[in-house]
Amino acid sequence: MNRAPVPFRLLPLAALSLFAAGCAVGPDYVPPKASATARLSSQPLAAETTSTPVKGGESQKLVEGGVLPARWWTLFGNATLDGWVDEAIANSPSLDAAEATLRQAEANYRAATGSLYPSVSVGAGASRNKISGAAAGGGFPGSIFNLYDASVSVSYALDLWGGVRRGLEGQVAIVEAQRWQSQAAYLTLAGNVVTSAIALASADAQLKTARDIVAAYDDTVRLVQKRFELGAGSRADVIGVTARAVQAQANVPPLERARVQAANQLAVLLGRYPSEFDAAGFTLESLTLPRELPVSLPSTLLAQRPDIAVAEANLRIASANVGIAQANRLPSLVLTAQLGTQAGMPKDLFKEDIWSIGANITAPIFDGGRLNAQKKAAVAAYEAADASYRQTVLEAFRDVADALAAVDIDARALQAQHQAYALATENFLLTEKRFKAGSANTLEVRDAKLSAGLAQQLFVQALAARYANTAALFTALGGALPQAEATTTAAR
C-alpha cells in the first residue's frame, strides 16, 4: 500500500486547523448604545443669555447642534492668547510624553501582529565531538569527529480559537485609548492656558482696584487723624477708619499671591520657567466674549469627549481579555518544520538534506482552577469597565450641564454686579457734587469712593467668570481639537 509523504499526510490536519481558525471564542465587542432620553440639560436651552451693556457682557446665543472650530480658543479674539496656546502645544512636555506613549502603543501593536504569522529562523553550527564505544552498544572503540550543520526552521502556532485575534483587538483598543489620551492632553492644555490667562488678567484688575482702595483708606486715616488732633473728631473715628484700612491692606496679599500663581502656572504651561515669562499688557478688556456657543448634540458629545472614548476603549480591551482567557482553556496546536543539512566536512554540506515536520497539540487537563479563575477575573474586569464607562458618561453630561448653567447664571450675576457698580459709582459722583456744594464732608466722599471700589472689584470677578465659564463649556463639550492627520497603524 502506497503511503503519502509525511508533509502531504499532514495537509488535512492543517486544513482543519485553518478552518477552525475562522472562529473566535469569547464575546464579540458591541459598542454601548446611547440613551435615547439623554439630554444635556434638564431644562430646554435658553435662546440667549442675559446681556449687560459693557464689553464682555454681551448676550450669548446657544446654538444646539453647533460645531466648535478646531482652534476654539480663537473665538476670544486675542492674538496674544492664540500665541500662548500655540506655544504651549509646541513646547509642552506633557504632550511630548502623551505622543511618545502613543507611539509606544502602536509599536506594541505591530509587535503583536507577528503572532499571526509563522516564525522562520535560520541557523548554522559546527562542533567537534567524541563518543564512547559503550554508547554504540559496546565492543567499539570511541571516535572523534567533526559535525557541521545548517538548517531553516519554521514554527506556526495556529490561532484555533481566536485568542491571538482577541489579543490584537485589545492592542487596537489600547492604541485608540492612548490616541484619545493624547487628545485629552491637548484639550486640557488648551483649556488650562485659556483659564490661567483669564485668572491672571482678573487678578491684575482686582489688584489694581484693591491697591486704589488701600491708597484711599490711607488718605482717609490721615484725614481723620488730623481732625482728631485738631479736636474735631473722636478716637473711635480714628480706630474705626484704621481698622477698615488694615482690612483693605489684608485683601491685597491674597490677590498678589493669586496673580503670581496664575503667571507661574501660565509660564509652565507654555514650557517656560517662571522667570522667563512676562504677561504685562494682557487684560480682560483685550478679550472678546464669543457671541455664539456651539452646543453639541448628546450623540456628538459621546463621540468627541476624550474621557468617554478612553472609557469605551478600556471596555473593548476588557471584552478582548475575556476571549483570551477563554481561548487559554482550550487545546493549542503548533506546526513545525525543519529543513537542513549535516556533514563531517564543510565541503560536504548541502550534499544530503535532512528534514522534519510535525504537529504538537497540547490541552490543559488540571491546573488547580487557575484558568477558570482567570476567566472569571476577566469577566469581572469587563463588568467593572462597563460600569466605569457608564459612570464616565454620567459625569460628562454633568460637566456640560454645570457649564451651561454657569454660562446662564453668571450672565445674570454680571448684570447685577454691573448695576451695583454703576449705582456705587453714581453715589460717589453725587457725593462729590454735594461736597463741592458744601452739603457733604470729606469722609462721606471717601466712603462713597471706597464703596465704588469694592463694587468694581466684585464686577471684575463677575466679568472674569463669564470668560472662564465660556472656556469651561468648550472644554466640557470635548473641544474640537484636530485629530492626527495620519491614520494610526492599528486603525489601518
Rounded to the nearest 5 degrees, what angle is found at the Cα of 92, between the Cα atoms of 206 and 80?
Answer: 45
- Tell whether the model's pLDDT for residue 481 goes beyond 80: no
Average pLDDT score over residue span 251-266: 94
- Tell whether the model's pLDDT for residue 202 goes beyond 70: yes
Higher per-residue confidence, 130 vs 93: 93
Higher per-residue confidence, 486 vs 210: 210
pLDDT on residue 382:
96
- Tell whether the model's pLDDT for residue 125 goes beyond 50: yes
- pLDDT tens digits for range 410-445: 999 999 999 999 999 999 999 989 878 888 887 788
- Tell whether the model's pLDDT for residue 34 goes beyond 90: no
| Percent of the chain whose predicted confidence (pLDDT) is above 70 | 89
Q: Can you tell me the distance from the alpha carbon of 423 to that of 113, in angstroms, rounded to the nearest whole number? A: 72
Q: Can you tell me the distance from the alpha carbon of 38 to that of 390, in angstroms, rounded to the nearest whole number? A: 12
Question: How many angstroms separate the most distant Cα atoms in the chain?
Answer: 140
For the stretch 342-349, contacts whose Cβ atoms lie closer than 8 Å and that sit 24 or more positions apart, written own/partner, are: 342/147, 342/148, 342/149, 343/147, 343/148, 343/149, 344/145, 344/146, 344/147, 344/148, 345/146, 345/148, 346/126, 346/148, 348/148, 349/148, 349/149, 349/150
Q: Which cell goes with 455? A: 463694587
Rounded to the nearest 5 degrees, what angle is found at the Cα of 260, between the Cα atoms of 409 and 286?
Answer: 55
The closest alpha carbon to 248, from 417, 444, 457, 463, belongs to: 457
Mention every residue, 6+ apart, whose C-beta is less than 8 A from residue 325.
26, 371, 374, 375, 377, 378
**Where does residue 290 rank: exposed (0-12), middle (13-18), buried (19+ CB within 10 A)?**
buried
Label each residue of 137-167 as H, E or C: CCCCCCEEEEEEEEEEEEEEEECCCCHHHHH
pLDDT averaged over every residue in the chain: 86
The whole-angstrom distance between residue 384's C-alpha and the CA centroid of its chain comes to: 21
- pLDDT tens digits for range 279-338: 888 999 999 999 999 887 777 788 888 999 999 999 999 999 999 999 999 999 999 999
pLDDT on residue 11:
39
- pLDDT tens digits for range 374-400: 999 999 999 999 999 999 999 998 999
DSSP-derived 3-state class of residue 378: helix
pLDDT on residue 294:
87
DSSP E strand boundaries for 159-216: none
pLDDT on residue 463:
96
pLDDT-derived band at 21, boundaries 50, 70, 90? very low
**Where does residue 321 rank: exposed (0-12), middle (13-18), buried (19+ CB within 10 A)?**
buried
- pLDDT tens digits for range 102-122: 999 999 999 999 999 999 999
Find out whether 201 and 287 touch, Cβ atoms under 8 Å.
yes
Mention every residue, 6+ apart, whose C-beta is less than 8 A from residue 90.
271
Lowest mean pLDDT among 131-145, 301-315, 473-487: 473-487
pLDDT-derived band at 41, boundaries 50, 70, 90? low
- pLDDT tens digits for range 397-408: 899 989 999 999
pLDDT on residue 440:
83
Q: Can you tell me the distance from the alpha carbon of 95 to that of 414, in angstroms, rounded to the nearest whole number? A: 36
Number of CB atoms found within 10 A of residue 197's CB: 29
- pTM greater than 0.85: no
pLDDT-derived band at 37, boundaries 50, 70, 90? low
Mention every residue, 6+ apart, whose C-beta is less than 8 A from residue 219.
446
- pLDDT tens digits for range 87-107: 999 999 999 999 999 999 999
Number of CB atoms found within 10 A of residue 122's CB: 9
Average pLDDT score over residue span 212-226: 86
What is the bridge-based pairing of β-strands 143-158 and 292-295?
Answer: unpaired
- Tell whether the model's pLDDT for residue 464 goes beyond 50: yes
CATH entry 1.20.1600.10 includes domain 32-117+161-331+370-476:
yes
Q: Which helix (H) or strand (E) holds 445?
A: helix 442-476
What is the bridge-based pairing of β-strands 143-158 and 61-64?
Answer: unpaired
Q: Can you tell me the distance from the alpha carbon of 421 to that of 463, in angstroms, rounded to the nearest whole number? A: 12
- Tell whether the model's pLDDT for residue 23 goes beyond 90: no
Mention every residue, 6+ apart, whose C-beta is less than 8 A from residue 384.
318
Find out whether 106 and 486 touch, Cβ atoms under 8 Å.
no
Q: Which cell goes with 91? A: 513646547
